[in-house]
Amino acid sequence: MEYRNLTTLITGASAGIGEEFARTLAAKGTNVILVARSVDKLSALAEELRSTHGIRAEVIGSDLSVPGAAASLVADVDALGIEIDLLINNAGFGTYGDLADADPARIRDEVSLNVAALTDLTTIYVQRMTARKSGSIINVASTAAFQPVPHMAVYAATKAYVLSLSEALWWEAKRHGVRVLALCPGATDTAFFDVAGSDDAAVGTRRSTRQVVDTALSALEAGKPSVVDGLANQLSASSSRLAPRRAVLAVAERAVRPR
């Protein structure tokens, strides 16, 4: 798959997996539009990518958990006169703790960002891509998509939605020459658990963001509907579909229980 001179829209691009996608694709000659709330971080990254790789790097500040923000983002991209070849829906966050103790406003924002904004952007861009019969979408799900996760119930449910949506869309879009991939990373070396409120969760060995991005791009090039990053995570995802549900819940709870 040739990436040079394509343009990629990356949400959640200021850190972690989103930042790694930006760095990796820029090194391949891809122009990038970086989206996140933190404009200062995005601007510094964009300047680095421009000077290092000679690509076009644009910055758009946006809180996609706000209703209507996805449509506003598309309007901002259109105002730049840029056609999107690859959409990477990476923005998202989790909340650690029992739902009975959660802040309803935070949960609403979590669902709005992880589900609603992702769906809005996916819908708009898959329609444009199918019309021109080219383009690709990577939706970042999680290994949490494969089973319910006590203490992170809403997060796991949102990622199950992302996986289901993306795999179904892969089938719908492939006949139009459009690739869709659900990327399912496990524990990764990012600030995810800090944001979720449980940095001491017993999640095991964390994969690097570069490993996750390399896995994603290889799977996209192979035309896969979904991919789980890392052999251990692949085995866990497969076993969760076969084991009794109570056993699955017990294992999932133990995996995120604080050390």
Which residues are the active-site residues? 155
Residue that the structure tokens 């080219």 belong to: 134
Residue that the structure tokens 């017990």 belong to: 250
* The two structure tokens encoding residue 17: 């997996």
Alpha-carbon distance of 190 to 178, in angstroms, equals 30
Closest of 162, 181, 161 to residue 171, by C-alpha: 181
Backbone conformation region of residue 25, classed left if phi is above 0, alpha if psi is from -120 to 50, else beta: alpha
Which amino acid, residue 89?
Answer: N
Pairing assessment for the beta strands 31-36 and 57-61 based on DSSP bridges: parallel
Which amino acid, residue 76?
Answer: D
Helix axes 69-79, 118-132, angle to 10 degrees: 40
Residue that the structure tokens 């229980």 belong to: 257
Q: With helix as H, strand as E and coil as C, how does 220-234 read?
A: HHHCCCEEECCHHHH
CA 196, 235, 25, 208 torsion-angle sign? positive
What does the radius of gyration of the chain's CA atoms come to, in whole angstroms? 18
- Confirm if 121 and 87 have CB atoms less than 8 A apart: yes
CA-based max dimension of the chain: 53
